[in-house]
């Protein structure tokens, strides 16, 4: 007598998203922060004349986002007390472990760099501001070397955040060499956008800085379009990992719409950056921030809706609680509070680029640039 064996067939396994909106907030904030550090270099490393207002808005972008980003990261750990495990159990083969070492270094340098840029204003402020200035001596000569070291740390953050996602072979959308590059280019777009907004809302608006930021926005948007074209070209011609990514999304109307939206937004930002309409910087900045945020949302949340096995796509509905909409609003509210505190403590209008460039502010201080 023979028996027929039972056959168990697994058609599909539904999975909940593991990386929640907290992760999107972290990657958005830390990306915009490091891009802000890069955007400040023409003023405070190269010492280019006329770039100080743009550099100050970039430093404010860098510092405010660097202070808030770790909060979102700790929240994404689900149990914030887990952070010490990264240090108790170092794993050199893990990009996440490297990130645990790089992130505190970068945030610490961003605070020092931001403090050095703020310090002339703190010295002329009230009692609390003068206490925060830690004396009346001239430390402007430290701005350039600290800016350089901060930029190096920012480059480390760019590498770790990009590789942390790209190494996930199970998700073809993530496992492409063009993804870390796109993270950088969209972060630069977001940083230029945030600096445009801050140039409008922080005292001392400067039309020349807005024009410079528009030019930067045009350059970064062109790089986004170029990298997107490379990704699509490799995917359609069957080249490398991009082909698997395109194949995993083929036949999906919503993903086709997302691709069209991303391309149209980058093209719009390119046009706005080239035209540089006077007084439109705040609107262009908001569009750029929206673009940088939505790219990360699409990659992280949308990428997790693509099944590893089976057919079709998972549905994701944004929760209203702390792991969804309330968490996003809370992080944004915290960033607004940090910016408010930073701008209340010290003025952020131009203090004189020549003084910072020469390291001799005490003997040759330039007057603040006039608002246009």
- Residue 344 covered by a domain: yes
Q: Residue 225 burial by CB count (10 A; 0-12/13-18/19+): exposed, middle or buried? A: middle
pLDDT digit string, tens, across residues 315-330: 777 888 888 899 999 9
SS3 category, 177: coil
pTM of the predicted protein model: 0.88
pLDDT classification of 3: cutoffs 50, 70, 90? low
pLDDT digit string, tens, across residues 51-60: 999 999 999 9
- Residue 367 covered by a domain: no
pLDDT at 365 over 70: no
What's the pLDDT at 371?
A: 38
- Residue 65 covered by a domain: yes
Number of domains in the chain: 1
What are residue 56's phi and psi, to 5 degrees? Answer: -70, -40
- Residue 280 covered by a domain: yes
CA separation, residue 97 to residues 86, 90, 102, 308, 326 (Å)? 6, 6, 9, 25, 29
pLDDT at 13 over 80: no
What is the span of the domain harbouring residue 219?
A: 21-358
- Residue 372 covered by a domain: no
19 or 209: whose pLDDT is higher? Answer: 209
- Residue 255 covered by a domain: yes
What's the DSSP call for residue 47?
-
- Residue 51 covered by a domain: yes
* Nearest one of 348, 353, 351, 349 to 45, comparing CA atoms: 353
Rounded CA-CA distance 256/259 in Å is: 5
- Give me the half-sphere count of Cα atoms (radius 13 Å) on the Cβ side of residue 146: 21
Q: What is the CATH number of the domain that holds 50?
A: 1.20.1630.10
pLDDT digit string, tens, across residues 112-167: 999 999 999 888 888 888 898 888 888 889 999 999 999 999 999 999 999 999 98
Rounded CA-CA distance 171/169 in Å is: 5
SS3 category, 271: helix
Rounded CA-CA distance 305/5 in Å is: 35
CA separation, residue 349 to residues 58, 65, 109 (Å)? 12, 19, 22
- Residue 341 covered by a domain: yes
pLDDT at 49 over 80: yes
Which long-range contacts link 70-73 to residues 24+ away (Cβ below 8 Å)? 70/26, 70/103, 70/107, 71/331, 71/334, 72/22, 72/23, 72/25, 72/26, 72/29, 72/331, 73/22, 73/26, 73/30, 73/103
What's the pLDDT at 7?
A: 64
Rounded CA-CA distance 272/276 in Å is: 6
pLDDT at 367 over 50: no
Concatenated DSSP letters for 181-220? HHHHHHHHHHHHHHHHHHHHHSSS--HHHHHHHHHHHHHH
Contacts of 61 (CB under 8 A, 6+ apart): 32, 33, 35, 36, 39, 191, 194, 195, 198
Instruction: Report yes or no: 285 and 194 within 8 Å, Cβ to Cβ.
Output: yes
């Amino acid at each position: 007598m023979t028996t027929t064996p039972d056959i168990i067939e697994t058609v599909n396994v539904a999975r909940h998203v593991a990386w929640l909106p907290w992760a999107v907030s972290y990657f958005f904030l830390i990306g915009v922060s490091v891009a802000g550090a890069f955007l400040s270099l023409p003023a405070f490393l190269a010492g280019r004349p006329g770039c100080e207002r743009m550099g100050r808005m970039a430093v404010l972008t860098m510092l405010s986002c660097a202070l808030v980003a770790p909060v979102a990261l700790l929240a994404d750990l689900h149990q914030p007390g887990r952070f010490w495990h990264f240090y108790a159990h170092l794993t050199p083969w893990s990009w996440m472990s490297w990130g645990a070492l790089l992130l505190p270094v970068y945030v610490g340098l961003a605070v020092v760099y931001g403090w050095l840029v703020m310090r002339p204003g703190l010295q002329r402020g009230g009692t609390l501001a003068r206490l925060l200035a830690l004396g009346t001596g001239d430390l402007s000569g430290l701005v350039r070397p600290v800016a350089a070291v901060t930029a190096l740390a920012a480059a480390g953050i760019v590498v770790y955040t990009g590789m942390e996602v790209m190494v996930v072979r199970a998700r073809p959308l993530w496992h492409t060499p063009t993804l870390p590059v796109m993270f950088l280019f969209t972060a630069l777009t977001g940083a230029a956008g945030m600096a445009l907004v801050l140039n409008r809302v922080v005292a001392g608006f400067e039309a020349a800085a807005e024009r410079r930021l528009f030019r930067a926005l045009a350059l970064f948007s062109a790089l986004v379009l170029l990298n997107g074209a490379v990704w699509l070209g490799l995917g359609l011609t069957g080249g490398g990992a991009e082909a698997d990514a395109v194949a995993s999304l083929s036949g999906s109307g919503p993903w086709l719409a997302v691709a069209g939206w991303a391309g149209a937004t980058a093209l719009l930002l390119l046009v706005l950056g080239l035209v540089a309409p006077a007084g439109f910087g705040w609107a262009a900045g908001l569009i750029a921030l929206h673009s940088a945020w939505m790219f990360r949302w699409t990659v992280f949340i949308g990428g997790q809706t693509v099944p590893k096995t089976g057919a079709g796509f998972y549905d994701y509905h944004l929760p209203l609680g702390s792991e969804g909409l309330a968490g996003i609003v809370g992080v944004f509210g915290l960033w607004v509070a940090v910016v408010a505190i930073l701008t209340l403590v010290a003025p952020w209008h131009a203090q004189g680029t020549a003084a910072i460039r020469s390291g001799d502010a005490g003997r040759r201080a330039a007057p603040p640039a006039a608002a246009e």
